[in-house]
Chains A and B, each alone.
Chain A
């Protein structure tokens, strides 16, 4: 009976070790930084409410809200499960309108139906084809990290698919 227990424990430890090793080798496809433009936020309690709402979300390292810029600045932690949809829904819940966002994303670049797409674990970013030739030539399939401007979508119909204008490959 004691041998059975020991075998089970060994199996558990082995499984945890394998998962941990695999985890070390995989890179996270995710948002890393978001400067979210917010319309309609005019007062300190508005900023306070939005900041507090954003801080409640898991996966954030730092949040700062600026009334004068009309922006929420978010630094996301490693291995976060956050999506731009979740962030923009929080903005809407606070009674404001989420507009375009400047983001840093690490994701997998593929081409689907002729459109280059950057995929994170939770969302798809269709890359707009107005980037410079120099920038476009540097976008190769595989894991890439880019800075870009995500275009505004209707607050009430966020689907997790976005259009992004890439401004820098990092």
Chain B
């Protein structure tokens, strides 16, 4: 077989693999929720503030995809949340990686889930809350998490455990929502290599049109415009000539939608890069897509 034929065959195989992955992703996403589900009632990507009721349980399953100029990743992620008090919530999230990226951008995924194959446990503490009207409240929440990777190598660098801290503040009403937040993830060194850190910030504005102002228990929809800014540091690895400690700068914006009905919630949305000032080793992103199902026990 000539080289051209081999290339065409490889391309066709890759396309078949891709289709298989997408089918598996869709299948698992549709099937797994039947056994118990998935996220919060805020934005999909940006940091948020709501915590569960005391004794409340929230089960989530999310399907996440991130596309770069090289390849596209697919992941299912499960999140279990429990309200220790009405202001303190514990979370545990685990991934099922369907297709990993060889060179994965360092980013957070959904608002309380990592975008990569990390298992993460976190505590949310709503340290300020002022409910000042019907459906209206200001609140602020601090997040502290630890994670362990399910992969040994990410972007050809050994992956270590990480710690993540974030803070967010927001306003919620029956019509308008707004959240601002910032966070930092730090990967520990493993076998003399270390993933770069990740400072980031997010801003979200949400709106519920009059048409969706039906009272409980009618379905409840809202739309968000979400924005995330990330400043991932470069990795350090063995044999590196000189570590310059430089950072990429990325800003992504996109819409998301949240529908709530009784104990169920579904959110879906996408982010598209509008600024990508990358270091030479960083990979260019094309889009991020996510779907999330929630069930409150």
Chain A positions near chain B (C-beta within 8 angstroms):
37-51, 53, 65-70, 92-97
Contacts and interface: CB of A to CB of B under 8 A. Distances in A.
20 contacts: A39-B131, A39-B133, A39-B137, A40-B129, A40-B133, A40-B135, A40-B137, A41-B134, A42-B174, A44-B219, A44-B220, A44-B261, A45-B263, A45-B294, A49-B56, A66-B216, A70-B133, A93-B54, A94-B53, A95-B87
A97 B265 CA distance: 23
Main secondary structure of the interface of A (DSSP, over half): mixed
Interface residues of B, number: 36
Closest 4 CB pairs of A and B: A40-B131, A70-B134, A40-B137, A47-B216
Contact of A96 (B131, B216, B220, B263): B131
A129 B265 CA distance: 48
Contact of A45 (B126, B136, B213, B296): B296
Contacts of B51: 95
Contact of A42 (B129, B172, B215): B172
B136 A48 contact: no
B86 interface: yes
A69 B129 CA distance: 21
Nearest to A94: B53
A125 B117 CA distance: 58
B280 interface: no
A69 B262 contact: no
Contacts, number: 98
Given A39-B132, A44-B219, 19 more contacts: A37-B134, A39-B133, A39-B137, A40-B132, A40-B136, A40-B172, A42-B137, A44-B217, A47-B217, A48-B216, A48-B263, A49-B296, A66-B215, A68-B134, A68-B174, A68-B213, A69-B215, A94-B54, A95-B53
B260 interface: yes
A43 B86 contact: no
B136 A43 contact: no
A42 B48 CA distance: 14
B99 interface: no
A68 B133 CA distance: 11
A39 B262 contact: no
Given A45-B260, A45-B263, A68 B137 contact: no
Contacts of B219: 44
B215 A45 contact: no
Contacts of A49: 52-53, 56, 296
Contact of B135 (A51, A53, A67, A93): A67
A43 B218 CA distance: 11
A97 B131 contact: yes
B213 A95 contact: no
B296 A48 contact: yes
A45 to B, nearest CB: 5
Contacts of A39: 131-134, 136-137
B44 to A, nearest CB: 15
B173 A42 contact: yes
A44 B219 CA distance: 8
With a 10 A CB-CB cut-off, give which of B132, B213, B260 has the most chain A CB atoms.
B260
A46 B134 contact: no
Contacts of B52: 49, 95
A95 B129 contact: yes
> Which of B86, B134, B172 has the most C-beta atoms of chain A within 10 angstroms of its own C-beta?
B134
Interface in B253-297: 260-263, 265, 294, 296
A133 B76 CA distance: 68
A46 to B, nearest CB: 7
B173 to A, nearest CB: 6
A65 B50 CA distance: 19
